[in-house]
Amino acid sequence: MGHKLKIAGWVSVGVVAGALTTVSLQTVARGAMTPLPLEEIQQLSAVFGLVKTDYVEPVDDKKLITDAISGMVASLDPHSQYFDKKSFKEFREGTSGRFVGVGIEITQEDGLIKVVSPIEGSPAFRAGLKPNDLITQIDETAVKGLALNEAVKRMRGEPNTKVTLTIFRKDESRTFPVTITREEIKTQSVKGKVIEPGYAWIRLSQFQERTVDDFVRKVEEIYKQDPNVKGLVLDLRNDPGGLLDAAVAISAAFLPENVTVVTTNGQLAESKSTYKAAPEYYQRRSGGDPLRRLPAAIKSVPMVVLVNEGSASASEIVAGALQDHKRATIMGSQTFGKGSVQTVRPLGPDTGIKLTTARYYTPSGKSIQAKGIVPDVMIDESEEGNVFAALRMREADLDKHLGSGQGEEKKDAAREKAREEARKRLEEEAKKPAADRKPPEFGTDKDFQLVQALNQLKGRPVLVSKTLAERKDEKKEN
């Protein structure tokens, strides 16, 4: 690990707090703290005492305290979280890309659990779960009002055990149960192939410990199959993020050495950092730099990067770096906008808190937080358009989301009108047979956005979006 990462620890840029998220493990000397508010501390003590003496049934002391900690941290923003012993262990497992569960990335929406995307090849993927599915019940437990980490705990378990999820699928207007057998999830974060002579496609579904090595091997395979690659599509759609050093390394694979990839800024001195396209900023172990094995042509091959609303954090860092340095054309839809750094502070050997400690900025100084990356070319998901774009959730839609810190505009009433129109169209769409509404698999010849990316690389006409427009920032009301 390079000197920057030795200071910063393992830093996460994952979008989700759930089935697979990775963050830093870091211990730092704390600076002087302001005096605690005595009156409020006394109130906390008084409430604790009242619950102990007056509540209808006895309550465990430790549960009261841990719930108070959990509520305090969760009230800050959607990505800060308290970890008990089990969830702390699961969080650590995420860095290796291995864990036991159903295999979904999740977030919260209206008190329910929303599927950001199923992990490819996982039990949830094979069971047919889709992005935007809402989980309303886990076994016999209703999800409404359940903390996100508690929902995750209920979906995790031992290998070969079963869990039943009750799913509400908006676009089909139906609720149905799905029983899934838990297994160890070994996520394969890199896919790729030669699409046609001279043109290749590489998809990153997550940024993990193995991602850089797997990426290098995949590029080597592609160039062995076709040494004359003249166009490359880097597919980051529905990639929710992962490890910062992996994002820096993937960016460095395509950029000149030592250029800025991303900067961070927060209250702590170590939160004010600049990460560059050099081994000391992404190499987390001794030994040779795996990027040295890449063919020299990778630095100059014409590129398109595909992104969408599910592209977050690490994906946005890569897309923003390649966009700012004019290394690639960014195509698709505006990204999620999760531009904040989370760091895990151990509270003991088995517990800790995940705390938002900084914001990310692209090389040109633009904040990613609650904004995302705006593509150079907006592309719909299908030839017929993308009529439900107004309904899609991004970081700015999350309750208590962190602002960008660069000024926000007032809420746009036109967007609310567009959402209402989209809801009506959704009702009509739900009447169609399910087969007619199933989106094509990424990387196939029916992948409309990939076809447009290839057209861009070949200098052919591109069918730009009929419906998508940049989402402006909204002013947060105090």
Q: Which residues are catalytic?
A: 313, 324, 338
Question: Is the separation of the CB atoms in 1 and 284 below 8 Å?
Answer: yes
Using alpha carbons, select from 211, 254, 155 the residue that is nearest to residue 13.
211
- The C-alpha atoms of residue 244 and residue 284 are separated, in whole angstroms, by 11
What length does the chain have?
478
Q: Which residue has the tokens 């730099």?
A: 289
Per-residue b or e along 344-372, where b marks 16 or more CB atoms closer than 10 Å to that residue's CB: bbeeeeebbbbbbbbbbbbbeebbbbbbb
What's the burial of 289, exposed, middle or buried (CB within 10 Å: 0-12/13-18/19+)? middle
Using alpha carbons, select from 259, 244, 247 the residue that is nearest to residue 318.
247
- The C-alpha atoms of residue 310 and residue 113 are separated, in whole angstroms, by 15
What residues contact 414, with CB distance under 8 A and at least 6 apart?
Answer: none
DSSP letter for each residue of 216-229: HHHHHHHHHH-TT-
Q: What is the DSSP letter of 440?
A: P
- The C-alpha atoms of residue 93 and residue 87 are separated, in whole angstroms, by 10
The first and second tokens of residue 244, run together, are 């910062």
Half-sphere exposure of residue 69: CA atoms within 13 angstroms, side-chain side = 15
Cα angle, residue 114 at apex, residues 246 and 444 outer, rounded to 5°: 60
Half-sphere exposure of residue 290: CA atoms within 13 angstroms, side-chain side = 20
AA letter at 306 = L
Task: Look at strands 340-346 and 24-25 and give their pairing.
Answer: parallel
**Distance (Å) of CA 204 to CA 100, 122, 241:** 21, 16, 10
